[in-house]
Structure 1
Amino acid sequence: MRYLIGKGFIGSNLSKKLDVIHIPHDNIKSTRLKAFDYFYFCSSYGNMATHDDEDQMYKANVEDLMTVLKKIRGMKFKSFVFLSTSSVMLKTQTTYSRFKRVAEEILLAYMERHDVPICIIRPFTIYGPNEQPEHLIPTILRSCFKGEQMNFVSEPVHDYLFIDDLTNGIISLSEHRTRGIFQLGTGHASSNQEVLLLIEEISGKKANINKVNSLRAYDNTDWVSNNYKARGYGWLPKYTLRQGLEKVVEDYIKNPKKYENSLI
């Protein structure tokens, strides 16, 4: 049996590959958990600019986690996977990344005390078909295909990981019953400018951009994963940035409306 909390971009894609029982956040306290093999905690409220409710941020990332850990105390299982964020490693922290870091520490202490397999995953910048419309890639796509003007910062870099590579990594690490913290990314940094040029080349269209200075305090030019631990368990990303963006552009052309309405 496999449980899943969180059906946003990552959780919904993971559920396409696994037979899972989804537990809505509103039902966590009332749900009676049965014996299970795998638990995937993919809650992510707070990872977008529009997520500004700090009480909800705490509930989704810390309080709900504590509720689950109390419910499974004494149970034996193959893997408990927690989706954290690579932002916990940045010099400039957000409220969201701090809550994720608190959750990590709780899980590490729980793992040591109860001797259970807990896998904490720090994914880098995840992208793919149907990602949140507010993110950079969907915004560039709308600018290219609809002419929407967008504010654009060219210098910041990200380690872009295609969603299929992430979900494969989650499954692989859980099935290997790994313990501890794992970074999942390609190990290669790409700037916003590189992403823009690739999308323009693939789509054959030009974006309508307004160049501005950095929009976020934590934007930087050195944000890349060290995924050697995950590689030790046989996981490797399969998609280059170009290959992944080709998939996204193809999906946008087929389903442009998906890139205008938020998933959560």
Structure 2
Amino acid sequence: MAQVFLLPKKLRQFLIEIGELTYFAGRFFKEAVKRPFEYKELLRQCYQMGNRSLVLVLVTGFIIGLVLDLQSRPTMIQFGAVSMMPNMVGISIVRELGPVITALVCAGRIASGIGAELGSMRVTEQIDAMEVSGTNPFKYLVVTRILAATLMLPLLVLLGDGVALYGSALVEYYKGDVSFQLYFNTVFDALTYGDLIPATVKSFFFGFAIGLVGCFKGYHSKKGTAGVGIAANTAVVFTSMFLFIIDFIAVFISDIFYDL
């Protein structure tokens, strides 16, 4: 009699959840191209996500620019390469730190908010009421939020990068007597389309992952009101994991194109 090989329970649950998330993403692409389009709700979600995350992103970006410059400056002085500070900081922020840090901040702010909001609607049966009344809750609640997160994150990354560079320029102005004009001219001379395009493209995928996981966790929330907290918490954990996976894939693909 053949012995049946069973996967560990935790691994089996994880694989099942990945399958359900994949089906959820497929349903999103199917519903996103169907009429009617919820333009008003989409614009409202863009405003909510962008406006409420803006201050947090700007403060985080400014501190990242300050800290990165302050921490790197002594080492660059030691090797006699302090003149390369704008190049190093600019490329580091635009290519990697800016998109990843902004996405992680938004994962904590947006994904948890979506998970808690949709989770509370699920446990209070508001989503069921929408289905009974003939409204498509998936299109109204899920599609609009995923699209809003996908569209808004690149804008937040752009603003976060700009503020981070300003924070670094502030340090160089006071510590190295480098004018703001010289600093930004040096940064823009060092940046190429090979730095900007991959960072911009992957920020769209970051936004999609944030919206998708947040909506998935909230839409399938269970176990009463306690499930709302679980949905918000697991949304942040899963989103952070996916962000690092997406970032690794983006960097790997970018390196292949650089080598060609």
TM-score in terms of structure 1 length: 0.27
Larger Rg, first or second structure (1 or 2): 2
TM-score in terms of structure 2 length: 0.27
